[in-house]
Copies of this chain bind each other. A is one copy, B any other.
Protein backbone atom coordinates (compact mmCIF):
# COMPACT_ATOMS: atom_id res chain seq x y z
CA UNK A 1 0.00 0.00 0.00
CA UNK A 2 1.52 3.34 -0.97
CA UNK A 3 1.98 5.64 1.99
CA UNK A 4 1.31 9.27 2.77
CA UNK A 5 4.14 11.80 2.81
CA UNK A 6 6.24 12.92 5.75
CA UNK A 7 4.79 16.37 5.14
CA UNK A 8 1.30 14.95 5.31
CA UNK A 9 2.07 13.26 8.61
CA UNK A 10 3.64 16.48 9.91
CA UNK A 11 0.57 18.55 9.07
CA UNK A 12 -1.05 19.43 12.40
CA UNK A 13 -4.64 18.60 13.09
CA UNK A 14 -6.71 21.68 13.75
CA UNK A 15 -6.42 22.36 17.51
CA UNK A 16 -9.90 23.83 17.41
CA UNK A 17 -11.51 21.03 15.45
CA UNK A 18 -10.01 18.04 17.22
CA UNK A 19 -12.51 18.47 20.02
CA UNK A 20 -15.37 18.25 17.53
CA UNK A 21 -16.09 14.53 18.08
CA UNK A 22 -16.53 15.23 21.82
CA UNK A 23 -18.82 18.12 21.04
CA UNK A 24 -20.85 15.96 18.66
CA UNK A 25 -21.24 13.29 21.32
CA UNK A 26 -22.28 15.91 23.91
CA UNK A 27 -24.93 17.20 21.52
CA UNK A 28 -26.17 13.66 20.90
CA UNK A 29 -26.44 13.30 24.66
CA UNK A 30 -28.74 16.32 24.67
CA UNK A 31 -26.30 18.89 26.04
CA UNK A 32 -26.41 22.47 24.85
CA UNK A 33 -22.96 23.84 24.01
CA UNK A 34 -21.91 27.49 24.11
CA UNK A 35 -19.27 27.81 21.42
CA UNK A 36 -16.44 30.03 22.60
CA UNK A 37 -14.01 27.94 20.59
CA UNK A 38 -14.26 29.25 17.06
CA UNK A 39 -14.17 32.66 15.40
CA UNK A 40 -17.46 32.28 13.57
CA UNK A 41 -19.26 35.58 14.24
CA UNK A 42 -23.01 35.65 14.87
CA UNK A 43 -23.22 39.11 13.24
CA UNK A 44 -25.33 39.33 10.09
CA UNK A 45 -23.55 39.69 6.76
CA UNK A 46 -24.20 43.15 5.20
CA UNK A 47 -27.49 43.16 3.29
CA UNK A 48 -25.78 44.66 0.25
CA UNK A 49 -23.55 41.60 0.00
CA UNK A 50 -26.37 39.07 0.38
CA UNK A 51 -28.59 40.97 -2.06
CA UNK A 52 -25.89 41.26 -4.71
CA UNK A 53 -25.67 37.48 -4.88
CA UNK A 54 -29.44 36.98 -4.78
CA UNK A 55 -29.93 39.47 -7.58
CA UNK A 56 -27.09 38.31 -9.83
CA UNK A 57 -28.04 37.70 -13.43
CA UNK A 58 -25.35 35.26 -14.51
CA UNK A 59 -26.28 32.53 -16.98
CA UNK A 60 -22.78 31.08 -17.16
CA UNK A 61 -20.74 30.96 -13.98
CA UNK A 62 -17.44 31.69 -15.74
CA UNK A 63 -13.83 32.05 -14.61
CA UNK A 64 -12.90 35.53 -13.48
CA UNK A 65 -9.52 37.22 -13.84
CA UNK A 66 -6.90 35.27 -11.84
CA UNK A 67 -6.20 38.39 -9.76
CA UNK A 68 -9.93 38.83 -9.11
CA UNK A 69 -12.51 41.24 -10.57
CA UNK A 70 -10.83 44.49 -11.59
CA UNK A 71 -13.86 46.45 -10.34
CA UNK A 72 -13.49 44.81 -6.93
CA UNK A 73 -9.77 45.55 -6.75
CA UNK A 74 -10.41 49.22 -7.63
CA UNK A 75 -12.96 49.53 -4.83
CA UNK A 76 -10.59 47.77 -2.45
CA UNK A 77 -7.90 50.33 -3.26
CA UNK A 78 -10.37 53.03 -2.14
CA UNK A 79 -11.15 51.07 1.01
CA UNK A 80 -7.44 50.92 1.86
CA UNK A 81 -7.06 54.64 1.13
CA UNK A 82 -9.59 55.32 3.89
CA UNK A 83 -7.27 53.41 6.21
CA UNK A 84 -4.25 55.51 5.18
CA UNK A 85 -2.89 52.70 3.03
CA UNK A 86 -2.04 54.11 -0.38
CA UNK A 87 -2.02 51.40 -3.01
CA UNK A 88 -3.42 50.76 -6.49
CA UNK A 89 -5.55 47.88 -7.74
CA UNK A 90 -2.41 46.34 -9.26
CA UNK A 91 -0.92 45.92 -5.78
CA UNK A 92 -3.84 43.63 -4.83
CA UNK A 93 -4.32 39.97 -5.61
CA UNK A 94 -7.74 38.57 -4.66
CA UNK A 95 -7.37 35.16 -3.06
CA UNK A 96 -9.57 32.35 -1.83
CA UNK A 97 -9.51 33.50 1.76
CA UNK A 98 -6.58 34.82 3.76
CA UNK A 99 -5.51 31.16 3.78
CA UNK A 100 -4.64 31.24 0.10
CA UNK A 101 -3.01 34.66 0.48
CA UNK A 102 -0.68 33.09 3.07
CA UNK A 103 0.08 30.08 0.88
CA UNK A 104 0.84 32.32 -2.12
CA UNK A 105 2.98 34.62 0.02
CA UNK A 106 4.99 31.75 1.48
CA UNK A 107 5.37 30.19 -1.97
CA UNK A 108 6.52 33.48 -3.49
CA UNK A 109 9.20 34.28 -0.91
CA UNK A 110 10.39 31.00 0.61
CA UNK A 111 12.07 27.77 -0.45
CA UNK A 112 12.15 24.51 1.52
CA UNK A 113 13.97 24.82 4.87
CA UNK A 114 13.62 28.62 4.89
CA UNK A 115 12.42 30.18 8.13
CA UNK A 116 9.87 32.75 9.19
CA UNK A 117 9.78 34.25 12.65
CA UNK A 118 6.37 34.50 14.27
CA UNK A 119 5.45 35.91 17.68
CA UNK A 120 3.92 33.09 19.70
CA UNK A 121 1.10 32.26 20.48
CA UNK A 122 -0.01 32.54 16.84
CA UNK A 123 -2.93 31.59 14.61
CA UNK A 124 -2.55 27.83 14.45
CA UNK A 125 -2.85 27.58 10.69
CA UNK A 126 0.34 29.61 10.20
CA UNK A 127 2.02 26.40 11.26
CA UNK A 128 -0.08 24.36 8.82
CA UNK A 129 0.67 26.60 5.85
CA UNK A 130 4.37 26.60 6.74
CA UNK A 131 4.37 22.81 6.89
CA UNK A 132 2.52 22.69 3.57
CA UNK A 133 5.19 25.03 2.13
CA UNK A 134 8.05 22.96 3.62
CA UNK A 135 9.32 25.89 5.68
CA UNK A 136 10.03 26.33 9.33
CA UNK A 137 8.19 28.52 11.82
CA UNK A 138 10.61 30.02 14.35
CA UNK A 139 8.60 31.23 17.33
CA UNK A 140 9.50 34.24 19.42
CA UNK A 141 7.59 33.95 22.66
CA UNK A 142 5.31 36.73 23.84
CA UNK A 143 3.89 36.65 27.33
CA UNK A 144 0.53 36.96 29.00
CA UNK A 145 2.35 39.00 31.66
CA UNK A 146 2.30 42.03 29.36
CA UNK A 147 -0.79 41.09 27.34
CA UNK A 148 1.30 39.52 24.56
CA UNK A 149 2.99 42.75 23.51
CA UNK A 150 5.71 42.61 20.85
CA UNK A 151 8.75 40.74 22.22
CA UNK A 152 11.93 42.81 22.45
CA UNK A 153 13.59 43.38 19.06
CA UNK A 154 16.73 41.77 20.48
CA UNK A 155 14.76 38.54 20.87
CA UNK A 156 13.98 38.59 17.14
CA UNK A 157 17.60 39.36 16.29
CA UNK A 158 18.77 36.32 18.22
CA UNK A 159 16.66 34.12 15.93
CA UNK A 160 17.60 35.61 12.56
CA UNK A 161 19.71 33.28 10.41
CA UNK A 162 20.63 33.10 6.73
CA UNK A 163 17.46 31.08 6.26
CA UNK A 164 15.17 33.76 7.72
CA UNK A 165 12.99 35.23 5.00
CA UNK A 166 10.22 37.01 6.87
CA UNK A 167 8.57 38.03 10.09
CA UNK A 168 4.87 37.25 10.26
CA UNK A 169 2.56 39.09 12.63
CA UNK A 170 -1.19 39.12 13.19
CA UNK A 171 -2.44 42.59 14.07
CA UNK A 172 -4.74 42.76 15.95
CA UNK A 173 -3.85 39.29 17.05
CA UNK A 174 -5.62 36.00 16.93
CA UNK A 175 -5.48 34.36 19.51
CA UNK A 176 -4.18 37.14 21.76
CA UNK A 177 -6.33 40.16 20.86
CA UNK A 178 -3.18 42.26 21.14
CA UNK A 179 -3.01 45.42 19.01
CA UNK A 180 0.53 46.44 18.03
CA UNK A 181 1.27 50.10 18.64
CA UNK A 182 2.66 52.41 15.98
CA UNK A 183 6.04 52.33 17.69
CA UNK A 184 6.05 48.53 17.73
CA UNK A 185 5.32 48.46 13.98
CA UNK A 186 8.06 51.03 13.42
CA UNK A 187 10.51 48.89 15.38
CA UNK A 188 9.60 45.85 13.27
CA UNK A 189 9.94 47.94 10.10
CA UNK A 190 13.47 48.98 11.07
CA UNK A 191 14.32 45.37 11.82
CA UNK A 192 12.92 44.15 8.47
CA UNK A 193 14.93 46.77 6.59
CA UNK A 194 18.13 46.14 8.55
CA UNK A 195 18.06 42.39 7.87
CA UNK A 196 16.34 42.62 4.47
CA UNK A 197 13.33 40.57 5.53
CA UNK A 198 9.74 40.65 4.44
CA UNK A 199 7.26 41.82 7.07
CA UNK A 200 3.99 39.96 6.57
CA UNK A 201 1.08 41.41 8.48
CA UNK A 202 -2.21 39.57 8.80
CA UNK A 203 -4.66 42.42 9.28
CA UNK A 204 -7.98 40.66 8.88
CA UNK A 205 -9.24 42.16 12.16
CA UNK A 206 -8.24 45.74 11.21
CA UNK A 207 -11.65 47.21 12.15
CA UNK A 208 -11.95 45.33 15.44
CA UNK A 209 -10.13 47.78 17.69
CA UNK A 210 -11.33 49.05 21.09
CA UNK A 211 -10.78 51.76 23.68
CA UNK A 212 -10.23 54.54 21.15
CA UNK A 213 -7.02 52.97 19.87
CA UNK A 214 -6.07 53.06 16.20
CA UNK A 215 -4.77 50.33 13.97
CA UNK A 216 -1.44 51.06 12.29
CA UNK A 217 -0.72 49.02 9.17
CA UNK A 218 2.70 47.92 7.94
CA UNK A 219 1.82 49.60 4.64
CA UNK A 220 1.57 52.97 6.37
CA UNK A 221 5.34 52.74 6.79
CA UNK A 222 6.62 54.35 3.60
CA UNK A 223 10.13 52.90 3.85
CA UNK A 224 8.62 49.44 3.91
CA UNK A 225 7.16 49.37 0.40
CA UNK A 226 9.47 46.59 -0.77
CA UNK A 227 9.20 44.61 2.48
CA UNK A 228 5.57 44.81 3.56
CA UNK A 229 2.91 42.28 2.59
CA UNK A 230 -0.62 42.55 3.98
CA UNK A 231 -2.78 39.45 4.34
CA UNK A 232 -6.46 40.30 4.39
CA UNK A 233 -9.92 38.75 4.32
CA UNK A 234 -13.61 39.64 4.28
CA UNK A 235 -14.39 36.75 6.64
CA UNK A 236 -14.55 38.61 9.94
CA UNK A 237 -14.91 42.16 8.63
CA UNK A 238 -18.29 41.42 7.04
CA UNK A 239 -19.17 38.19 8.82
CA UNK A 240 -18.56 36.34 5.57
CA UNK A 241 -16.35 33.44 6.65
CA UNK A 242 -18.02 31.17 4.10
CA UNK A 243 -17.26 33.46 1.16
CA UNK A 244 -13.60 32.45 1.15
CA UNK A 245 -12.39 35.76 -0.18
CA UNK A 246 -9.22 37.43 0.95
CA UNK A 247 -6.33 39.22 -0.66
CA UNK A 248 -2.65 39.89 -0.47
CA UNK A 249 -1.44 43.46 -0.86
CA UNK A 250 2.10 44.55 -1.55
CA UNK A 251 3.88 47.30 -3.40
CA UNK A 252 6.76 44.90 -4.13
CA UNK A 253 6.28 44.25 -7.84
CA UNK A 254 8.38 41.07 -7.94
CA UNK A 255 6.31 39.55 -5.15
CA UNK A 256 2.93 40.38 -6.66
CA UNK A 257 4.04 39.16 -10.10
CA UNK A 258 5.32 35.93 -8.57
CA UNK A 259 2.15 35.43 -6.55
CA UNK A 260 0.22 36.01 -9.76
CA UNK A 261 1.77 32.84 -11.21
CA UNK A 262 0.41 30.85 -8.27
CA UNK A 263 -2.94 32.57 -8.85
CA UNK A 264 -2.97 31.71 -12.56
CA UNK A 265 -2.33 28.06 -11.75
CA UNK A 266 -5.53 27.88 -9.70
CA UNK A 267 -7.34 29.92 -12.37
CA UNK A 268 -9.54 32.29 -10.36
CA UNK A 269 -11.09 33.05 -6.98
CA UNK A 270 -14.78 32.07 -6.56
CA UNK A 271 -17.12 34.27 -8.59
CA UNK A 272 -20.23 34.43 -6.37
CA UNK A 273 -18.07 35.21 -3.38
CA UNK A 274 -16.39 38.04 -5.25
CA UNK A 275 -19.81 39.49 -6.12
CA UNK A 276 -20.73 39.39 -2.42
CA UNK A 277 -17.39 40.79 -1.28
CA UNK A 278 -17.40 43.66 -3.76
CA UNK A 279 -20.92 44.60 -2.68
CA UNK A 280 -19.99 44.33 1.02
CA UNK A 281 -17.76 47.36 0.52
CA UNK A 282 -20.97 49.38 0.15
CA UNK A 283 -21.97 48.57 3.72
CA UNK A 284 -22.46 51.84 5.63
CA UNK A 285 -19.92 52.96 8.26
CA UNK A 286 -22.59 52.23 10.84
CA UNK A 287 -22.22 48.51 10.06
CA UNK A 288 -18.75 48.41 11.59
CA UNK A 289 -19.55 50.94 14.29
CA UNK A 290 -22.40 48.79 15.53
CA UNK A 291 -20.41 45.59 15.20
CA UNK A 292 -17.39 46.93 17.05
CA UNK A 293 -19.57 48.43 19.79
CA UNK A 294 -21.18 45.04 20.24
CA UNK A 295 -17.84 43.25 20.47
CA UNK A 296 -16.56 45.82 22.95
CA UNK A 297 -19.54 45.10 25.22
CA UNK A 298 -18.89 41.39 24.87
CA UNK A 299 -15.22 41.78 25.63
CA UNK A 300 -15.98 43.89 28.69
CA UNK A 301 -18.46 41.30 29.89
CA UNK A 302 -16.06 38.36 29.48
CA UNK A 303 -13.25 40.24 31.21
CA UNK A 304 -15.54 41.33 34.04
CA UNK A 305 -16.96 37.87 34.64
CA UNK A 306 -13.72 35.95 34.43
CA UNK A 307 -11.79 38.51 36.47
CA UNK A 308 -14.07 37.73 39.38
CA UNK A 309 -12.30 34.40 39.69
CA UNK A 310 -9.15 35.02 41.73
CA UNK A 311 -7.11 32.35 39.92
CA UNK A 312 -7.95 33.18 36.31
CA UNK A 313 -5.46 35.49 34.66
CA UNK A 314 -6.80 37.16 31.55
CA UNK A 315 -5.07 39.38 29.02
CA UNK A 316 -7.30 42.30 28.12
CA UNK A 317 -7.61 42.31 24.34
CA UNK A 318 -7.44 45.65 22.53
CA UNK A 319 -8.57 44.20 19.22
CA UNK A 320 -10.02 41.22 17.33
CA UNK A 321 -12.53 39.13 19.30
CA UNK A 322 -10.40 36.67 21.20
CA UNK A 323 -8.64 36.60 24.48
CA UNK A 324 -6.29 34.20 26.18
CA UNK A 325 -7.17 33.14 29.70
CA UNK A 326 -4.64 31.44 31.97
CA UNK A 327 -6.41 28.93 34.17
CA UNK A 328 -5.28 27.44 37.48
CA UNK A 329 -4.93 23.96 35.98
CA UNK A 330 -2.13 21.93 34.40
CA UNK A 331 -3.73 20.53 31.29
CA UNK A 332 -6.11 22.82 29.46
CA UNK A 333 -6.43 20.30 26.61
CA UNK A 334 -7.85 17.77 29.01
CA UNK A 335 -10.02 20.38 30.72
CA UNK A 336 -11.59 21.46 27.39
CA UNK A 337 -12.35 17.86 26.50
CA UNK A 338 -13.70 17.14 29.97
CA UNK A 339 -16.06 20.14 29.75
CA UNK A 340 -17.65 18.43 26.76
CA UNK A 341 -17.54 14.82 27.83
CA UNK A 342 -18.03 14.86 31.61
CA UNK A 343 -19.43 18.17 32.73
CA UNK A 344 -22.63 20.12 32.42
CA UNK A 345 -24.60 22.67 34.36
CA UNK A 346 -28.34 22.32 33.83
CA UNK A 347 -27.39 20.20 30.82
CA UNK A 348 -25.35 23.00 29.26
CA UNK A 349 -21.62 23.32 28.77
CA UNK A 350 -18.98 25.43 26.97
CA UNK A 351 -16.51 24.63 24.24
CA UNK A 352 -13.12 26.40 24.40
CA UNK A 353 -9.97 26.23 22.30
CA UNK A 354 -6.97 24.92 24.29
CA UNK A 355 -4.19 27.44 23.76
CA UNK A 356 -1.46 24.81 23.34
CA UNK A 357 -2.48 24.59 19.69
CA UNK A 358 -1.44 28.22 19.22
CA UNK A 359 2.11 27.55 20.39
CA UNK A 360 4.72 25.59 18.46
CA UNK A 361 7.12 25.48 21.41
CA UNK A 362 6.43 22.31 23.42
CA UNK A 363 5.00 22.83 26.87
CA UNK A 364 3.89 26.40 26.23
CA UNK A 365 0.36 27.55 26.94
CA UNK A 366 -0.74 24.26 28.46
CA UNK A 367 -2.65 26.12 31.17
CA UNK A 368 -4.24 28.59 28.75
CA UNK A 369 -7.39 28.63 26.65
CA UNK A 370 -8.52 30.92 23.86
CA UNK A 371 -11.97 32.41 24.28
CA UNK A 372 -13.76 33.76 21.18
CA UNK A 373 -16.38 36.20 22.40
CA UNK A 374 -18.67 35.77 19.43
CA UNK A 375 -21.92 35.19 21.31
CA UNK A 376 -24.54 37.65 22.49
CA UNK A 377 -24.42 39.13 25.99
CA UNK A 378 -26.95 36.74 27.46
CA UNK A 379 -25.21 33.66 26.08
CA UNK A 380 -21.83 34.99 27.18
CA UNK A 381 -23.11 35.50 30.73
CA UNK A 382 -24.29 31.90 30.83
CA UNK A 383 -21.14 30.59 29.19
CA UNK A 384 -18.76 32.36 31.58
CA UNK A 385 -20.80 31.12 34.54
CA UNK A 386 -20.60 27.54 33.25
CA UNK A 387 -16.89 27.94 32.58
CA UNK A 388 -16.19 29.08 36.14
CA UNK A 389 -18.36 26.34 37.64
CA UNK A 390 -16.65 23.79 35.40
CA UNK A 391 -13.24 25.06 36.36
CA UNK A 392 -13.95 24.79 40.06
CA UNK A 393 -15.40 21.30 39.70
CA UNK A 394 -12.45 20.19 37.57
CA UNK A 395 -9.95 21.47 40.11
CA UNK A 396 -11.48 19.53 42.96
CA UNK A 397 -11.62 16.38 40.81
CA UNK A 398 -8.22 16.50 39.12
CA UNK A 399 -5.90 19.05 40.64
CA UNK A 400 -5.64 17.32 44.01
CA UNK A 401 -4.74 14.14 42.13
CA UNK A 402 -2.25 15.99 39.96
CA UNK A 403 -0.75 17.65 43.01
CA UNK A 404 -0.28 14.36 44.83
CA UNK A 405 1.32 12.93 41.68
CA UNK A 406 3.87 15.75 41.58
Chain A residues with CB under 8 Å of chain B are: 1-9, 11-14, 17, 38, 40-45, 49-50, 53-56, 58-64, 66, 96-97, 99-100, 103, 107-112, 114, 125, 128-129, 132, 134, 165-166, 192, 196-198, 226-227, 239-244, 252, 254-255, 258-259, 261-262, 264-273, 276
Contact = CB atoms under 8 A, between A and B. Distances in A.
Contact of A62 (B58, B103, B241, B270): B241
Contacts of A192: 2
B109 A8 contact: yes
Contact of A262 (B64, B112, B132, B242): B132
Given A2-B197, A50-B59, A99 B265 contact: yes
A227 B272 CA distance: 35
Contacts of A241: 61-63, 267-268
Given A45-B60, A244-B268, A244-B271, 20 more contacts: A1-B227, A2-B252, A3-B254, A5-B258, A8-B107, A11-B258, A11-B265, A14-B66, A14-B261, A40-B62, A49-B61, A53-B53, A61-B240, A63-B241, A96-B244, A107-B132, A111-B134, A125-B266, A128-B264, A271-B273
Contacts of A259: 8
A1 B109 contact: no
Contacts of A111: 5-7, 134
Given A44-B60, A255-B4, A273-B272, A265 B107 contact: no
A112 B10 CA distance: 13
B8 A108 contact: yes
A258 B8 contact: yes
24 contacts: A2-B165, A2-B198, A2-B226, A7-B111, A12-B261, A14-B66, A45-B60, A45-B61, A53-B54, A53-B272, A61-B239, A61-B243, A96-B270, A99-B267, A107-B132, A125-B265, A125-B266, A128-B261, A128-B264, A132-B265, A134-B134, A241-B268, A243-B272, A270-B272
A102 B259 CA distance: 18
Nearest to A43: B60
Contacts of A5: 107-111, 114, 165, 258
Nearest to A113: B112
Contact of A66 (B6, B12, B17): B17
A12 B262 CA distance: 9
A40 B268 CA distance: 12
Nearest to A125: B265
Contacts of A239: 60-61
Contacts of A97: 266-267
A266 B99 contact: yes
A252 to B, nearest CB: 8
Nearest to A14: B264
B132 A11 contact: no
A244 B64 CA distance: 10
The residue in A11, A134, A244 that gathers the most chain B C-beta atoms within 10 A of its C-beta is A244
B244 A270 contact: yes
A271 B50 CA distance: 12
Contacts of A261: 8, 11-14, 128
Given A58-B50, A60-B42, A272-B273, A2 B227 contact: yes
Of listed A1, A7, A112, A132, residue having the most chain B CB within 10 A? A7
A58 B239 CA distance: 12
- Nearest 4 Cβ contacts at the A-B interface: A242-B271, A128-B265, A272-B272, A8-B258
